[in-house]
Structure 1
Amino acid sequence: MGDGKQGEDHVLRLSRVDTKILPPDGGPRYNRLIFCKSPYLLQHAENPVDWHPWTEEAFARALSEDKPVFLSIGYSTCHWCHVMERESFEEKDVAAVINRDFIPIKVDREERPDLDNTYMTVCQMMTGSGGWPLTLLLAPDKKPFFAATYLPPRSRQGAIGLVELLERVTQLWRSDRVRLLQTGEEASRALIRLDNQAGGEKAPDEAPLGKALRQYSEGFDERFAGFGPPPKFPTLHNVSLLLRLWRRSGEKRALEMALQTLHAIRRGGIFDQLGGGLHRYAVDRHWLIPHFEKMLYDQALAVPAFLEAFQASGDVALARAAREVLDYLLRELAHPEGGFYCGEDADSEGAEGTFYLWTPAEVEEVLGKEAGGLFCRGYGICEAGHLEGKSIPHRAGEIKDLAEKEGIEPGALEAALAEGRRALFEARQNRVRPHRDDKILTGWNGLAIAALARGGAVLGDPEAVEAAARTADFLLARMRSESGRLLRRYRLGEAAIPAFLEDYAFLLHGLLELYQAGFVPRRLEQALSLAGEMDELFSDDRGGYFDTGRDAETALVRGRSSQDGALPSGASLACLSLLRLGRLCGDSGLEKKGERLLGSLLPQVVRHPAAYSQTLIALDYALGPKSEVVVVAAPGGEPPDHLLQVLRGRFLPHTEVLLYRPGDRCLEALSPLVRGKEPSDGRAAAFLCREQSCQKPVTDARGLESLLDEISA
């Protein structure tokens, strides 16, 4: 596969010869993708397939040559994308069929979520399922008439192969094109109907929350935790919702499902026991065997879920899990100038999971026979293994049970296992690492800002808050066009692609979390500006939001993604952020925008609420009871840590916090809540405000605890 840096080095010395690009030294041939910045597209730059990136030039060529388009959508760390590349796109005979009869286009779904969402919806409508690589055939007008996911190169076991499919479609294109185009017209009309479904509003009430709790309860895996059959995805915004359902209803079942799921994930092979961080998903019911890729957004969504569960339960193991995820994020995915890379591949050395797997002999070589044997028993590493004779480290049982069996004090056992993890982690660093997708995406980085800010605040880690601030500054300075328009992707010094709704919404969410971690008023100013841009670009003028800006290219439709899958939808997080920003700034107009957006989403939510967890988090927030705490610093302006620690130790999903240093004209202009509030007898004070009315201030931790007990009851 092509290497991104190698591709950059060749750009200046390549020449175009017909549709292929030939280096003068007789080295490997390159196609048009060599001029792209996407690591995924660069991986395919040496394919014999005559790939185009998604451009109008490609569709113009399809029209002029009277050929259909072969569209392939995937991403850099996708295992099955690599498989299809090896089997088909690197094979000259398969490439010859594609090049002869089609105009091939390759798309990075992470750069272009709009295209991915549009054509994935088509695939799901046509086949009932979806996934990556996503394979479509389009007419030159971009209308799809065939959709599938992974296809083998040749037919096998009753499944049609890529070559046979393309040859059959070529025959139909020449002899019965009307039938193919009819399919495309029907699919396009269905997309337009979906796009226009948004309309009307539903008043918020608690009914969808209760229905969601019942659905989660019915789908809960009582033995191994999590929801539904394998494959099991973390989808930890579901856990965040369950914590809110517990807080609202008092149903212990909701809290138990949340905690059991988090502990099962932390103990399982889906969690990297040596280096921290979550893998993409588990293929089995036990959370043991993961699909090994690691995505930035999974890490970013895991941190607040673990931290909120820690606040709700007091279980410090959950706070440690959040710390381990943050450590991985900062160690392996951080860009030196600010920002975070997309993730790491599942494959290394030509196979999936090689970097993460161990045999007992490999463990003992590092730790010695006695310590190695103990570690293997503690982490389930056995001779039989789990994948091709090798084992995935996972917690094989409770510490107290293992300690009793081994005749060791639990504390001594924990220390021994921790030392084993450290030594094996260092040894693992000498292995060939999986490929890292080093592009920076604005939306995913917005989630990372939120995770770092929340983690830094709750765990008392100013370096994490600083990393969040550095990332926000990087995005706001480097991820903009000359006109100031926010952009989607940054790599190798280039920012490009107009940002989508999820980029604006996720960054807005990150800025709000960053404000509440460091209480720098400038972050509220930035959030207000971003919210205004978001409304201008994406509003449909009926209360809803499109995924694509009014100034950007669209494929067939502008799209409206409302379901919360592995990632929350842009609309759901935009809704919550508008409600929060309106509260923090006392701006009823912003709150009304959030309420209208929520109302536009609810008609879809009521049918299957468990599929809309982030929207239900916004609904729970909108229903309240709402409160704000204004913490006023004492003369001198030092943060009153004794009061902030109380607030950060509590699970307060409906409470916003402002820190006011008397005389701060900037914050006074941004938020009327702080005006007129002063220290109490020269001491820092906390004012609890509910329904535009503030109680008498308290100055000590115990007094604040008592006030918070009232709103938590």
Structure 2
Amino acid sequence: MDEPENRLAKEASSYLKGAAHQPVDWYPWGDEAFARAKAEDKPILLDIGAVWCHWCHVIDHESYEDPEIAKIINERFVPVKVDRDERPDVDSRYQSAVNAISGQGGWPLTAFLTPGGKVFYGGTYFPPKDLYGRPSFRRILLAVSDHYTKERADAINTAESLHQALAERRGLHLHEADVNEPLLKEAVDGLKGQFDPVNGGFGSSPKFPHPGTMEFLLARYHRTKEEGLRNMITRTLTGMARGGVYDQVAGGFHRYSTDATWIVPHFEKMAYDNATLLSNYAKGWALFRDPLFKDAAEGIVRWTDEVLSDRTNGGFYASQDADVGPGDDGDYFTWTLKEVRAVCTEEETTAIALRYDIGERGEMHHNPAKNVLFADKMPAEIAKETGWPAEKVESILKSGLEKLRKGREKRTAPFIDRTVYANWNAMYARAYLDAYRYLGREDCRDFALKTMHLLRSKLWDPVHGMHHQWANGVRRITGFLEDHIWFAAALLDAFETTQDPDWLEEAETVMRFALDHFWDAKGGGFFDVSASDGAGANSILALKRKPVEDSPSPSANGMAGLVLQRLHHLTGNDEYRLHHDELIRAFAGEASRMGGIFGGAYFHAAELWLHPPAQVVIVGGKKDTRTQALRRAAVETFSPGKTVLVVERDGAYVPAAVEPMLSSKQAMAGPVAFVCKGNTCSPPAGDPAKLRELLSG
């Protein structure tokens, strides 16, 4: 007999549909739930989580599937469940509110709201029994319900006061700091102070990748060649690529490390992490030529191609879960020594165990025999220890890893959320174009462009803008800044790669929509939701929010600064420059308070605002093989923030500094490239090698 289903069975979200058989009378986010709460004068229990979230599965299993707990919830609350991937606008605001009350944040987020949607109590995970110094969920539910019933005025006053404080804090950003070299140096000095010189990364544990910060450091190192920056970049990229946070068997990165040494991860794999880290590693390879960086980038591509993408239609999926069941903790990804012996020869087992520190006792608390694979001993050390030739060690490691990969494929794999989100797909398309630029992967370019066609045809609407979600052949949810900014950035990358003017025209269309619907005309910068979108289900969505913090992906406003600058350089439209200037100045004070770890995307944009990037103008027929060679050199050379424009006819736009040089003998004689920074241009270069040299700094 089938279990009864609640309202969530009809939802598009995998996370919400996964709760359809729970005995809790869940509502999805929307007016219906708030109307019932007001009609019955009941508080709302809000659960925000995600399909990839380990502790969300735990609280689902322990509490929301418990009939007794469900009975308390159904009698005393109106329960609402939200997928944070689907509704980042709802999640970000309630994260701020709960953090202000409890000092906690993350998922699952458990919040108690007035019928109007304002928070009066909250936390994250609550255990089924008093545990970990936390009261049981049952105790919390009863206490909160009693408090609301008996001391309603106090609960409402708390909610109103908190809401007002958030409204004031999330109001207009003040222009509190100058944008100058001391501001950037302060950010770099802060990063140096938090840098882990042994393991790489910033801070201790848990340790997250910070791809926006890496982009800032890569851009600054490209200009300054400062050894301290090189050390921070290379140690961090090396530490992550050798650690267990990188899937040594199949490629791709897990979400973060629970320790300072990058060894034991939270095992979920996210589209946004792997997209932005692919860009980091591809650029790291382009700058430093470390084979480890290339291998890590290739590993991300291999895993993404096999697991996280729709090869037929284009598009990248959202995530792969960490676990298969409630008692699981990364078992799909980890190995006992016995499991290795079962699939490998004796020599392969010896080499694999030495390379990846696999022993009888591993790192996992729930099953001490389970090992997280991380690069421990180098092949040369293994050769010395075993007496085998280096070539034999390399061959055995390769064959052993392939057997582990095939052996793992026989296991039940964690769930893959095949939802296509606009922002994460644009990130991934950009990363795949980076793989084309710096790794020579034409297949990545082709799939990126296929994905861009999917986004353009399925998710863009000239009236409503970008839709956020494509699931089961249906597009849903509009009004998010990050979808527009990341799509515009990807459109510009597609233009650079192909020189097809349609991509540039579309980038302008999308940015014009963003300026019309998200721009703060009073304070500068962009709001995260459209002004015309309205508050929707309740007033918390009316809270003004201008995201400049990387959380964890590079912030939409930081990225917008980069997009506006590139659009100005490609079109000469001064409106882009004026908005760019205003945006950079608007967030200087906020970024200074955040520092380089959480303000990486902003500081990347500020670095290129203060020190203008290269504008490459190639004059020549697009079908001329010499023009094509120059274009390839420009596209494939790492130069942060650069633009590439191929001009083959009179009357086409070129930067003002280039115009007087078009009549020079060299320009008239044949295809040449000019490299301009600010108001200064290089002499014309007809040799691709010379162009690469000019761009390398």
Residue 112 (1) aligns with residue 112 (2)? no
Do the aligned partners of 2:622 and 2:646 also contact (CA within 8 Å) in 1?
no
- In the alignment, what sits opposite 2:104? 129
Determine which structure has greater relative contact order: mean sequence separation of CA pairs < 8 Å that are 6+ residues apart, divided by chain length. 2
Q: 1:71 aligns with which of 43, 46, 58?
A: 46
- In the alignment, what sits opposite 1:535? 515
Matches within 5 A, 1:215-230: 215-230=190-205
Shift of 1:415: 3.1
Q: What is the CA–CA distance in structure 2 between the aligned matches of 1:706 and 1:563, rounded to whole Å? A: 35
- Give per-residue Cα distances to partners, 1:609-664, cap 9 Å, x unaligned: 2220110000001011432112345573447454345445543114322234x249
The amino acid across from 1:427 in the alignment is G
Q: 1:427 aligns with which of 398, 407, 412?
A: 407
Shift of 1:142: 0.9
Q: What is the CA–CA distance in structure 2 between the aligned matches of 1:338 and 1:671, rounded to whole Å? A: 35
- In the alignment, what sits opposite 2:208? 233
The amino acid across from 2:8 in the alignment is L
Do the aligned partners of 2:285 and 2:438 also contact (CA within 8 Å) in 1?
no
What secondary structure does 2:465 align onto? coil
Q: What is the CA–CA distance in structure 2 between the aligned matches of 1:303 and 1:664, rounded to whole Å? A: 39
Do the aligned partners of 2:622 and 2:628 also contact (CA within 8 Å) in 1?
no
Do the aligned partners of 1:295 and 1:344 also contact (CA within 8 Å) in 2?
yes
Select between 60-69 and 388-397 the one with higher mean Cα deviation. 388-397
- Give per-residue Cα distances to partners, 1:203-260, cap 9 Å, x unaligned: 4211221112111111111221111111111122222222233334442111101101
The amino acid across from 2:77 in the alignment is F
Residue 366 (1) aligns with residue 366 (2)? no
Q: 2:551 aligns with which of 565, 579, 596?
A: 565
What secondary structure does 1:356 align onto? coil
Q: What is the CA–CA distance in structure 1 between the aligned matches of 2:636 and 2:462, rounded to whole Å? A: 43
Q: What is the CA–CA distance in structure 1 between the aligned matches of 2:180 and 2:502, rounded to whole Å? A: 35
What secondary structure does 1:188 align onto? helix
- In the alignment, what sits opposite 1:254? 229
- In the alignment, what sits opposite 2:314? 338
Q: 1:416 aligns with which of 356, 378, 396?
A: 396
Do the aligned partners of 1:511 and 1:526 also contact (CA within 8 Å) in 2?
yes
Q: 1:509 aligns with which of 451, 473, 489?
A: 489
Q: What is the CA–CA distance in structure 2 between the aligned matches of 1:106 and 1:354, rounded to whole Å? A: 28
- In the alignment, what sits opposite 2:603? 616
- In the alignment, what sits opposite 2:586? 600
The amino acid across from 1:358 in the alignment is W
Q: What is the CA–CA distance in structure 1 between the aligned matches of 2:657 and 2:472, rounded to whole Å? A: 44
Q: What is the CA–CA distance in structure 2 between the aligned matches of 1:329 and 1:644, rounded to whole Å? A: 28
Do the aligned partners of 2:465 and 2:484 also contact (CA within 8 Å) in 1?
no
Residue 272 (1) aligns with residue 252 (2)? no
Matches within 5 A, 1:651-670: 651-660=638-647, 662-663=648-649, 668=652
Select between 128-137 and 646-655 the one with higher mean Cα deviation. 646-655
- In the alignment, what sits opposite 2:280? 305
Q: What is the CA–CA distance in structure 1 between the aligned matches of 2:436 and 2:626, rounded to whole Å? A: 15
- The number of aligned residues is 682
Q: 1:193 aligns with which of 164, 168, 179?
A: 168
Select between 294-303 and 205-214 the one with higher mean Cα deviation. 205-214
Q: What is the CA–CA distance in structure 2 between the aligned matches of 1:677 and 1:330, rounded to whole Å? A: 44
Shift of 1:312: 2.0
- In the alignment, what sits opposite 1:491? 471
Do the aligned partners of 2:672 and 2:685 also contact (CA within 8 Å) in 1?
yes
Q: Name the CA shift for 1:664/1:454 in 2 (closer, same or farther; >3 Å).
A: farther
Shift of 1:399: 2.6
Select between 60-69 and 423-432 the one with higher mean Cα deviation. 423-432
- In the alignment, what sits opposite 1:688? 675
Matches within 5 A, 1:286-301: 286-301=261-276
- In the alignment, what sits opposite 1:438? 418
Do the aligned partners of 1:546 and 1:559 also contact (CA within 8 Å) in 2?
yes
- Give per-residue Cα distances to partners, 1:397-436, cap 9 Å, x unaligned: 2232223223334344223312222222122111111001
Q: What is the CA–CA distance in structure 1 between the aligned matches of 2:594 and 2:89, rounded to whole Å? A: 24
Do the aligned partners of 1:454 and 1:517 also contact (CA within 8 Å) in 2?
no
What secondary structure does 2:221 align onto? helix
Q: Name the CA shift for 1:477/1:484 in 2 (closer, same or farther; >3 Å).
A: farther
- Give per-residue Cα distances to partners, 1:334-380, cap 9 Å, x unaligned: 12312111110000244121111112222222221122221221122
Shift of 1:202: 4.3
The amino acid across from 2:202 in the alignment is F
Residue 583 (1) aligns with residue 569 (2)? yes
What secondary structure does 1:579 align onto? helix
Structure 1: runs of 5 or more not aligned: 1-25
Q: Name the CA shift for 1:648/1:132 in 2 (closer, same or farther; >3 Å).
A: same
Q: Name the CA shift for 1:452/1:706 in 2 (closer, same or farther; >3 Å).
A: closer
Do the aligned partners of 2:222 and 2:639 also contact (CA within 8 Å) in 1?
no
When the two structures are superposed, what TM-score results if normalisation uses the length of structure 1?
0.91
When the two structures are superposed, what TM-score results if normalisation uses the length of structure 2?
0.93
Q: 2:530 aligns with which of 538, 549, 554?
A: 549
The amino acid across from 1:651 in the alignment is F
What secondary structure does 1:97 align onto? helix
Q: Name the CA shift for 1:639/1:230 in 2 (closer, same or farther; >3 Å).
A: farther
Q: Name the CA shift for 1:664/1:493 in 2 (closer, same or farther; >3 Å).
A: farther
- Give per-residue Cα distances to partners, 1:55-101, cap 9 Å, x unaligned: 11110100101101000001110000000000000000000000000
Q: What is the CA–CA distance in structure 2 between the aligned matches of 1:305 and 1:355, rounded to whole Å? A: 27
Shift of 1:51: 0.2
Select between 136-145 and 549-558 the one with higher mean Cα deviation. 549-558
Matches within 5 A, 1:308-327: 308-327=283-302
Shift of 1:680: 5.2
Do the aligned partners of 2:211 and 2:553 also contact (CA within 8 Å) in 1?
no
- In the alignment, what sits opposite 2:323? 347
Q: Name the CA shift for 1:568/1:702 in 2 (closer, same or farther; >3 Å).
A: closer
Q: 1:500 aligns with which of 480, 487, 491?
A: 480
The amino acid across from 1:686 in the alignment is A
Q: Name the CA shift for 1:124/1:198 in 2 (closer, same or farther; >3 Å).
A: same
- In the alignment, what sits opposite 1:455? 435
Q: What is the CA–CA distance in structure 2 between the aligned matches of 1:633 and 1:409, rounded to whole Å? A: 53
Q: What is the CA–CA distance in structure 1 between the aligned matches of 2:619 and 2:378, rounded to whole Å? A: 45
- Give per-residue Cα distances to partners, 1:436-473, cap 9 Å, x unaligned: 11111111111111101111122112211111111111
Select between 166-175 and 278-287 the one with higher mean Cα deviation. 166-175
Do the aligned partners of 2:111 and 2:122 also contact (CA within 8 Å) in 1?
yes
Residue 406 (1) aligns with residue 383 (2)? no
